Chain A
Amino acid sequence: MAPLVSRKTLIGGMTVIGLVALWFGLTTLTGLVTGARFPSPAEFWFSLKQINGRGYAGSTLASHAVHSLKLVLMGFTVAVMTGVPLGLWMGWSRRVEAFINPVFLIIRPIPPLAWIPLAILWLGLGDAAKILVIWFSAFVPSAINAFTGVRNIDKPVLEAARMLGTPRWRMVREVILPASLPMIFTGLRLSLQASWTTLVAAELVGALVGVGFVLNMAQQDIYPGMILVGMVTVGILGWATTVLLARIERRALAWNVAARD
């Protein structure tokens, strides 16, 4: 019989408890780290209560978090909806690859965060600028991995589909897309990470609401407790969206041996 909690979960939980104990020990218990550098658990708890109750930086934690989450999901979706089809197309057609690849080669070395000033200049401090920057950063991993996915398709599988007289659109939908799906999901994971990184950076630089804005305000207020609240929030949101994506992946790739553990 399988135990109620797996060994892995148990060890993971113990690590977290150990870290919290260490945190408590270094701050409250011994005072080795002062509150001006890193908040104690009590200060963290106080900041959390404050932002959930009265609010901070214009609104409550929930509305900051929901706003950030919404932007990430929108930017991520736009990036995936454009990046994956383009990657598939480049993978399928050498001519398309020849056209698009130079653009990639020029744009790729530019860090996505370097687009932030231009985006703000074009679109201001609102949501549109952030979605644009997320799109820039999350688009590339989606496209490149979809491209690699198509190029790595087992050649006999494609030949079998051609031999069976598979028409063009069915070929894309039922052969090329599913065959590339494991690589596409690798791209989506990287795109999701890129989306969070870019969003927080964009909100740090210029925003009026959002978790990155909370971090920015807390820094200006010299308020370590609130900084930690912002960091933990981003961590939890990033983790939750990653877990969700992994669930979708497991479902979509049920046929794939490599994806099963």
Chain B
Amino acid sequence: MGSISFRNVDKVFGHGAGGVKALDDINLEIADKEFVAIVGPSGCGKTTCLRMVAGFEAASAGSVLVNGRPVTAPGPDRAVVFQQFALFPWKTVRENIELGLRNKNLPIGERNDLVAGALKLMNLETHVDAFPHQLSGGMQQRVAIARAYVLDPEVLLMDEPFGALDAQTRVVMQEELVRLARHNPRTVLFITHAVEEAVYLADRVAIMTRRPGRIKEVLDIKAVRERENWDSHARIEDVMDLESFVHLRTHIWKSLREEKGFKDV
């Protein structure tokens, strides 16, 4: 089980007159095993939403619930994949992936099996003993995803995980994540500013307004994807060419552009 609920959530940074309202009355229900992406203009507070589920920030008002229980602190039931990978540079690939399992006090045999599984899942078998700085950005993010997946978390929180990768690597990782999410579904909250990425990956896409961030619209992608049978296309570019995909993408673009229009034009 791994449902996420935002109920009337406000977030204010700072105090009193100097305080800045980052989030305004966020309401969002994410069901167990659902993949939801949040898109929005920069600074709209989408990352803050994720950080509240992770337990790094507390809501100023309202409540953030996971499985109906309020979030109080970070924990391995809500694994986070960070934009800048946040690997431990002094630990090898294996040691990075293993730390969470050691913290759970799993016996070594079980631990090794799980690590081996995660390494295989992310195609990291040949880099087990490498240090992070010896790996490319894409490889480092694979390690970070393996480190999160190996915990078998109820909820996976991904904060612009492919934002620091080059375009080609990014596409490969998106395809891999789809493969993972379809074969081994779990609840995912995915933050991005890349519209195509959101449409390609998510079951639903939530669009946020500029600051103070509100949920403007939630689009059901899964219904379209299943109706138009997107998953029969192996490659991301083929999916992106489909009329149904283009339609959704354009809709979100327009919605975001309205937001920017207040300020930029």
Do A and B pair up? The answer is yes
Q: With A and B bound together, what is the CA distance between A162 and B80 in angstroms?
A: 10
Contact of A160 among B73, B75, B80, B102 (CB under 8 A): B80
Q: With A and B bound together, what is the CA distance between A255 and B91 in angstroms?
A: 8
Question: Distance (Å) between the CB of B129 and the closest chain A CB?
Answer: 12
Q: Once the chains bind, are A163 and B54 in contact (CB under 8 Å)?
A: yes
Q: Once the chains bind, are A163 and B90 in contact (CB under 8 Å)?
A: no
Residues of B contacting A170 with CB < 8 Å? Answer: 102-103
Q: Once the chains bind, are A165 and B82 in contact (CB under 8 Å)?
A: no
Contact of A163 among B75, B87, B88 (CB under 8 A): B75
Q: Which of A167, A174, A179, A254 has the most CB of B within 10 A?
A: A174
Q: With A and B bound together, what is the CA distance between A161 and B79 in angstroms?
A: 11
A13 lies within 8 A of chain B by Cβ: no
The stretch of A108-116, A122-130, A151-159, A191-199 that contacts the partner chain: A151-159
Shortest Cβ distance from A156 into B: residue: B86
A57 lies within 8 A of chain B by Cβ: no
Within 8 A of B (CB), among A242-261: 254-257
Instruction: Supply 8 further A-B pairs (C-beta < 8 A) apart from A157-B88, A161-B88, A174-B91.
Output: A154-B86, A159-B54, A160-B80, A160-B86, A165-B76, A174-B88, A175-B88, A255-B131
Q: With A and B bound together, what is the CA distance between A174 and B104 in angstroms?
A: 16
Q: Once the chains bind, are A156 and B82 in contact (CB under 8 Å)?
A: yes
Interface residue tally for chain B (C-beta within 8 Å) = 27
Shortest Cβ distance from A164 into B: residue: B100
Is chain A's binding surface mostly helix, strand, loop or mixed? helix
Contact of A174 among B84, B99, B100, B151 (CB under 8 A): B99
Contact of A156 among B75, B84, B100 (CB under 8 A): B84
Residues of A contacting B78 with CB < 8 Å? Answer: 163
Q: Once the chains bind, are A159 and B82 in contact (CB under 8 Å)?
A: yes
Residues of B contacting A164 with CB < 8 Å? Answer: 76, 99-100, 103, 147, 151
